[in-house]
Structure 1
């Protein structure tokens, strides 16, 4: 079993978990550390005195899950008309490879994928995992329509939003999967992932998805699709790169605003201390929040040149 899957499995006790509680257990530093360690090994990162790469991983919540409202009439898999908005997903994972000392731009790639998380009653479930009401539209059939087909939609910040964040978004379908389902099994205390396609078998682990994203076998390139770029920006605009050196974090596009700790405070304290404080604060706030989206940000930073020791 991989380092990531071992770390994930160790989070769960003998009790039964619900759909949300099983997902929220993934918010743990042991998981982010395992992701960094496994990717460092799988990607064969160079580690010399002149050049090396380092992986930084942050797990963060966003309070409001963006929703999609289809622009043109759509029907679910049973032929029922979809009227209401549907959530984009429960888990968003992005992988960014950045050069710390850019010459002609500092970004090598920026890929992201979205996951709809469900509670699975069997091992290796089939998409869409959740309950399908054959008599009318329900949340499961709406989610499947979005993640499998991506019809043109308007993007809203939350269910109560009356004005869209963006209109007429058309996410292009790719050969490389970028939207997934994930089912948690209380029997094995394991997650099973599969691409968002009707009857698709969910037989991949959390580790499989992470490694595939880093190897360009999963995820959509953000810069190649303006609609996907808009979604990515709206999901990650308040996220901070807390484990990364501030001089590098300031170059990453998603660090625009900060909810919680003031950005000035972020740079006035030693980074590890601020990171610990923010994690405690996030966990405290999570007790009073409603449903939220977990954002996993994986940054691979290539350092090449002088004064490398201070980043090790």
Structure 2
């Protein structure tokens, strides 16, 4: 991906996340997670990530980042389980897009996503040193862990009461062995009563991440999670796993019926969240789309195909501040003189004149 985060920026992202999230430190996991969707936080995060954008000489690329709220939708229906299981609470999406000088994009060149399963610490031990799966291994926590750690075949449904599957026989594992990188845990401390006295020095960032490996420490900071996600490199100290995986997305939104497995899951999630509202209990009486948390920030509309295909999105785009084809240029003195002469000729003799403006576009 066209974002390269250095260690200084990791620390800046961690500090930013902690400052914004600490206000909800006594709340549950979903309320705490909702702070990551807040416009103030996302605007500040975008400002940091803009500095990490990697541009290619002679071509313009944009990176569009989206955060989807997927609590309770969609759900995986596993043959061996009596109840359906959620895939996570949020999804981080990123899209690289090549944009031509005419403002149109030939297509998305790369797309990536990771599922995020959010948990808050329940005990003093977990606050001191959180380990996967953070919450006690029972009920929904066990079902979620079994899904993220094993990835058996499943059918994908919109909700618990849906009759028709969105996709059948989804196989994310294929022939791959071991733990897969599609979903990660993110943990936050819940500081209540005596828990406030616990040692919280571990929490360099308010959200700390860990792979779906039983007992694995959640010691990847939120900035480190983003760094690994965009770098597409495995983390040796976290199961040697990447954060998320690439998926096929030639245009936006991708057509689910033409895709399968991980590509299909990502496409179905995009289709669902674009048309669904976030829960009122967390986002207020007039909640945004599950993919519209950044809409109110007021970032400039992108000129590429990704943004043109979607009028309202939960996206912010990161790209160069200016591109040769888009920089307004002051008219030279010679051109001004020529224009005056031509204007005189036109007024006197009514000669039809066409003035052609030329610009040098590097790489095209």
Alignment TM-score, normalising by the size of structure 2: 0.61
1:216 matched to which residue of 2?
232
SS of the residue corresponding to residue 112 of structure 1 reads: strand
Where do 5+ consecutive residues of structure 1 fail to align?
74-81, 256-262, 267-274, 276-295
Relative contact order: is structure 1 or structure 2 higher (C-alpha 8 Å, sep ≥ 6)? 1
1:308 matched to which residue of 2?
326
Alpha-carbon distance between aligned partners in 1 of 2:141 and 2:24, rounded to the nearest angstrom? 28
1:29 matched to which residue of 2?
39
Q: 1:180 to 1:59 in 2, by over 3 A?
A: closer
2:19 matched to which residue of 1?
10
CA contact (8 A) 1:153 1:167 kept: yes
Q: 1:54 to 1:99 in 2, by over 3 A?
A: closer
CA contact (8 A) 1:152 1:169 kept: yes
1:142 aligned to 2:143?
A: yes
**Between structures 1 and 2, the one with greater strand share:** 1
Alpha-carbon distance between aligned partners in 1 of 2:42 and 2:227, rounded to the nearest angstrom? 13
Where do 5+ consecutive residues of structure 2 fail to align?
1-9, 192-199, 234-242, 250-258, 275-290, 329-364
1:66 matched to which residue of 2?
74
CA deviation vs aligned residue, 1:248-279 (integer Å, no higher than 9, x gap): 254677x4xxxxxxx5xx6xxxxxxxx8xxxx
Alpha-carbon distance between aligned partners in 2 of 1:249 and 1:212, rounded to the nearest angstrom? 27
Count of aligned pairs:
257
Alpha-carbon distance between aligned partners in 1 of 2:320 and 2:154, rounded to the nearest angstrom? 37
Q: 1:124 to 1:226 in 2, by over 3 A?
A: farther
CA deviation vs aligned residue, 1:266-303 (integer Å, no higher than 9, x gap): 6xxxxxxxx8xxxxxxxxxxxxxxxxxxxx75655579
SS of the residue corresponding to residue 97 of structure 2 reads: strand
Q: 1:62 to 1:84 in 2, by over 3 A?
A: closer
1:182 matched to which residue of 2?
186
CA contact (8 A) 1:100 1:304 kept: no
CA contact (8 A) 1:100 1:303 kept: no
Cα RMSD, aligned residues only: 3.4
Q: 1:124 to 1:252 in 2, by over 3 A?
A: farther
